[in-house]
Amino acid sequence: MPRKTLAKFIFENLTEASWPGVTIDEDKQLIECPKGQVLSLIRGEYHLKFYWYSVEKKEYDLRDSYSEIIFPKTLDIKKLIFFRRNGNYKLAYEKQFKSITNPLSKTVNKVKLNNSTKLKFYKQNMILPINLFTKSMNDAKYVYDKSNSYKNSAQNYLSGIKSHDYSNNVKKRTTYMEKGEFHFLVDRLYLKTKNSKKDFQKYLDDGDLKSMEELMTELLRHDVLSEEYLRRLNDYFIKERLKDIIDLGREILRLKSADVTTLDAKKIIEKLAYGEINKLEALWQKFFEKNLLYLIFTYKKIFPQVELKNIDGDKKYPDFIGINHYNGLDVIEIKTHLKNVLVWDNSHENFYFSSEMSKAIVQTKNYMDAIMQERFNTAEDRENITKFTDEENLYHPRGIIIISSKNKLATKKGQDEKLKRDFTKLRNSVHDIQILTFDEIITIADEYIKNIIPEAENGRQN
């Protein structure tokens, strides 16, 4: 059976749609309508014009753009023409084809297909190599099919969520996505090009960020991410993030007074981006609030300023409650690096705790007692904390006091060996409370970097 010619194929579709006044000369491959030639064959090239017909007005007209396509006779284009029931026709997947081949929406009336090597525009003509036309139509179909798939997926997901408002008979939650869709989402939002926190916040709200955090946690927990990415993640938090935190901590340590209105103090406050800070102790508290999880590596959750009841003194809350990876609970108190821990006793020729240190110990003990007796000001605070620790651990808290620095450890200078011995004895004598200086916290983090980075680098070499 002879193959149906292009003219016959188009003519049958138009007459089936009852277009009036359409004629065909199959020998010449010519189709005409009252408005002009629909199809003609000139020197081995088809000229197909895209007319439309209005049944209501009984009028023909030529489309405003992409009104004609010219192509070699050898190109079988029948499968690439889409006919509506009313007979109006266009290139299949035309919207997608235009977006792919003409992303800047240049004005195009004619599309000419030939054996040229690249796509170009000339006046209101698009010159398109045949091989690129074939590829672009395949790509257009891919875009069309994928778009419908995403649309149906989103519709099923959103309908399923809304169905909970109307009935208890709801479908079981399922995954409404295919492989590759997450890449599509990230690339569509062009997120990899964002250069600052504000850039991301234009497109991501708190819900988006929370979902990504939960997803990342699960990917890490189930060992889904590549080793190379985990190394890069490790390097970021160790080499970049932690180094910056250490540098900032040392800047605060270099402050020689408690006055936070000095130029140096203002620069640090600006880096912390925490607004107005009026005390040195508050500056340290904000520094640790933002960075404690990086500086002391045993915590999985930090709760700042949980209010407790029946506490002696004006301050009713510890600076932080930390939950470590063994579910233990720590009460963390922050003082300043300018406070003395020890005072020299001339009569006995030894050191003893300063009044500031003694007050901090009593204060921390009071907080620990309040937690053991579950004297939380709100039930919500207790519930939030017990989500991250076993309830029995509330009755066995540990205290940590961060205070002083190497230069301010004692009121008396020149007794280095005696100072070290007495400081070690005194802080070991306090049951369930660990006393650390700000220098020690920074040094622990610094040593962590020195120890872990060579190990990571050796892993790469192996």
The whole-number average pLDDT for the span 29-45 is: 96
Chain mean position to CA 359 = 44
Q: What is the pLDDT of residue 397?
A: 93
Residue 456 has pLDDT above 70, yes or no: no
User: What is the CB neighbour count within 10 angstroms for residue 392?
Assistant: 9
Which residues are paired to 31 by β-bridges? Answer: 24, 39
SS3 53: strand
* Angle at CA of residue 200, ends 196 and 201, nearest 5°: 110
CA distances from 341 to 391, 404, 423, 427 (A): 34, 6, 8, 10
Give the tens place of pLDDT for each residue, 228-269.
888 788 777 777 788 889 999 999 999 999 999 999 999 998
Give the tens place of pLDDT for each residue, 277-296.
999 999 999 999 988 888 88
Residue 276 has pLDDT above 60, yes or no: yes
Residue 349 has pLDDT above 80, yes or no: yes
Matching residue, tokens 């408005």: 35
Q: What is the pLDDT of residue 190?
A: 67
Give me the chain's average pLDDT, please.
88
Give the tens place of pLDDT for each residue, 356-413.
999 999 999 999 999 999 999 999 999 989 888 888 888 889 999 999 999 899 987 7
| Distance between CA atoms of residues 376 and 261, nearest Å | 35
CA dihedral 252, 257, 261, 263 (to 10 degrees): -60
Residue 176 has pLDDT above 70, yes or no: no
Query: Residue 259 carries which side chain, given as an amino acid letter?
Result: D
More confident residue, 82 or 454: 82
Asked if residue 330 lies in contact with residue 394, where contact means CB atoms within 8 angstroms, the answer is: no
Q: How confident is the model at residue 143 (pLDDT cuts 50, 70, 90)?
A: very high
For residue 263, what is the enclosing H or E element? helix 263-272
Residue 193 has pLDDT above 90, yes or no: no
Give the tens place of pLDDT for each residue, 123-133.
999 999 999 99
Q: What is the pLDDT of residue 452?
A: 66
| Distance between CA atoms of residues 102 and 133, nearest Å | 12
Q: What is the pLDDT of residue 460?
A: 47
Asked if residue 10 lies in contact with residue 77, where contact means CB atoms within 8 angstroms, the answer is: no
Domains along the sequence of the chain with CATH: 6-144 (no CATH), 158-212 (no CATH), 227-461 (3.40.1350.10)
Q: How confident is the model at residue 461 (pLDDT cuts 50, 70, 90)?
A: very low
Straight-line distance from the first to the last Cα atom of the chain, in angstroms, rounded to the nearest whole number: 68
Q: What is the pLDDT of residue 191?
A: 65
For residue 32, what is the enclosing H or E element? strand 30-33
CA dihedral 188, 192, 195, 198 (to 10 degrees): 50
Residue 95 has pLDDT above 50, yes or no: yes
> Which of 30-44, 190-204, 391-405 is the least confident region?
190-204
278 DSSP assignment: -
| Distance between CA atoms of residues 265 and 277, nearest Å | 10
Residue 63 has pLDDT above 70, yes or no: yes
Give the tens place of pLDDT for each residue, 215-224.
888 888 888 8
